[in-house]
Amino acid sequence: MTFRFPLADDRSRLWLGLVLPALALAAMIAHLATVQAQPADQLTVYSPQTSYSVPLLDVKGQPYAGLVDLLEPIGEIDARPDGKKYKVKFTPPGGRAVEAQFNEGKDKAKVLGQNYKLPANFVLQNGRGYVPLSSAQEILNKLLAKPVQLHLAARRLFIGDVPIRFSLELDKSNPPKLVVSFPSPVNPTIATEPGRVRFTFRREPVVSGGQDSTTFDNPVITGAVFAEHDGLAELDVMGSVPLMANFADGGKTIIVAPVPPPPPAPTAPTPEPQAPTQTQVQQPKPPAGPRFLVIIDPAHGGADSGASITASLVEKDVVLALARRVQRELASRGIAAGMLRNFDVAIALDQRAASVNAARPALYVTLHAANTGRGVHVFTSLLPAANLSRDGFLPWDTAQAAFLELSGVAAGSVAAELDSRKLPNTTLVAPLRPMNNIAAPAIAVEIAPPDDNVDNIASAEYQEQVAQSIAAGIAAVRSKLPEVRP
């Protein structure tokens, strides 16, 4: 894979001017006045094979979805215009081909040879066919021969028995805990603010467990609200104090609890009375003890999506999910780990390096993903080793040179753990930023699909195995990596 990092000062836009003869321009305006098709929002589709997003068109104030966009990720589709007709032949996985026919500018169609009336006219634009979004549930139900649910206002569509329903249980111990349970692992984005934790589910088909708003008879954790909108789902947990979230049971359980208060300041001992002639000398406080900290850096973020793994899955989302798993696995081994980003935000390369160096970690791990190759690649920096003092100032562009030996130790240990789990892997060197600027042992881990099915790169089982390998490899060489003072 090619590692892509954005240029910090690249904000240019490309404006394309198009000059048309007056008659052609008038014709275009007339056409747009009739169709008024403009990019609108998107629909999130959840199926047993994958989840994906479908861009929607606004046609006269009504959302429309493309038939190819709806069906291509979950089967084989041959769709083409034939005059004013639009013919569709779709073959679901393991099933027989089925056919449908639509007519441009008409609300009459045929699906599986039966007449079907659309709630609004069919639209043919640039050789692609679009149906009213409100009809997507019934059309897919007929073509797929399985139940389909459309949450129209929320822009979410569920194919088959895929919805994930959660339960809430409040443990009123001191301090109280809210246990959110799911039947399968989830990986939401988590955002916190005073008195609130928000879980955003973008790729998991999470739906209400039966009650969207719950009030708890508790003065600390007071309630929870579930909502769907804009192709995603959100769960807000409210409280009267700052709250934090932890994962358990391999991602099937989220535990929300109050943030623990800081430890009380030690009480100074009462000084012994001193003779009046003696001078009181204040003893300096002992420095804070060394600590072992790992910084995890999910690459890309924000407008920088990284590689397109599939049509609906981008690198920045894959590595963020993996980073959360690595953090949990390290915590289970008693190793403190911080994440450079815990949500979808852009961070410049120099800012990443500066933040890591300020934290003075024992190890830096940056995560990437690719849709080519197979298994896991573990990288160290392609720099000549340098005999530099690690206690003084280091050259910015080659700061990693002083730590290459320890970086190699960490990379080899992670590779050994991947081997023990029979995960294909390769150890390489590469000229990477911001790794070259990191003044600490540093490795990069890039995951590719475990097999020929690229969708499996997001498999919970596969990512969990990779995360366990990374965490176990770090734990195995903990004694060889330097603990540092904060």
Convert the pLDDT of each residue in 44-94 to its tens digit. Answer: 999 988 888 898 999 999 999 999 999 998 999 999 999 899 999 999 888
Residue partners of 357: CB distance under 8 A and separation at least 6: 399, 437, 438, 439, 440
Residues 113 and 104: their CA atoms lie apart, in Å, by: 18
Residue among 147, 256, 167, 253 at smallest CA distance from 208 = 167
**Is there a cis peptide before residue 81, judged by omega within 30 degrees of 0?**
no
User: Which tokens is 260 given?
Assistant: 């623990």
Q: How far is CA 319 from CA 187, 305, 354, 390, 436, in A?
A: 11, 11, 21, 30, 20
| Residues composing the chain | 486
Contact of 132 with 63, CB cutoff 8 Å: yes
The torsion of the CA quartet 34, 35, 39, 42, rounded to 10 degrees, works out to: 140
Q: What is the CA radius of gyration of the chain?
A: 28
Backbone torsion region of residue 94, taken as left when φ is above 0, otherwise alpha when ψ lies between -120 and 50, otherwise beta: left
User: Which tokens is 105 given?
Assistant: 């500018």
Q: Residue 398 carries which DSSP code? A: G
Convert the pLDDT of each residue in 425-440 to its tens digit. Answer: 989 888 788 999 999 9
Q: Which stretches of the chain drop beneath a pLDDT of 50?
A: 1-40, 277-283, 286-287
Residue among 415, 428, 293, 310 at smallest CA distance from 364 = 293
Say if residue 333 is exposed, middle or buried (CB neighbours under 10 Å; 0-12, 13-18, 19+). middle
DSSP string, 109-125: EEETTEEEE-SS--EEE
Query: Nearest 5°: phi and psi at 334?
Result: 75, 20
Q: How far is CA 226 from CA 132, 200, 293, 415, in A?
A: 27, 10, 35, 41
What structural domains and CATH numbers belong to the chain?
Answer: 35-159 (3.30.457.10), 164-258 (2.60.40.3470), 293-480 (3.40.630.40)
Residues 334 and 292: their CA atoms lie apart, in Å, by: 10
Residues 12 and 430: their CA atoms lie apart, in Å, by: 29
Residue ranges of alpha helices (H) inside 74-183 are 136-144
**Alpha carbon of residue 326 to chain centroid:** 14
Q: How far is CA 350 from CA 4, 43, 388, 436, in A?
A: 14, 36, 21, 11
Convert the pLDDT of each residue in 100-116 to its tens digit. Answer: 999 999 999 999 999 99
Residues 360 and 437: their CA atoms lie apart, in Å, by: 13
Residues 62 and 152: their CA atoms lie apart, in Å, by: 11
Residues 45 and 202: their CA atoms lie apart, in Å, by: 10
- Residue 40 has a CB neighbour count (10 Å cut-off) of 17
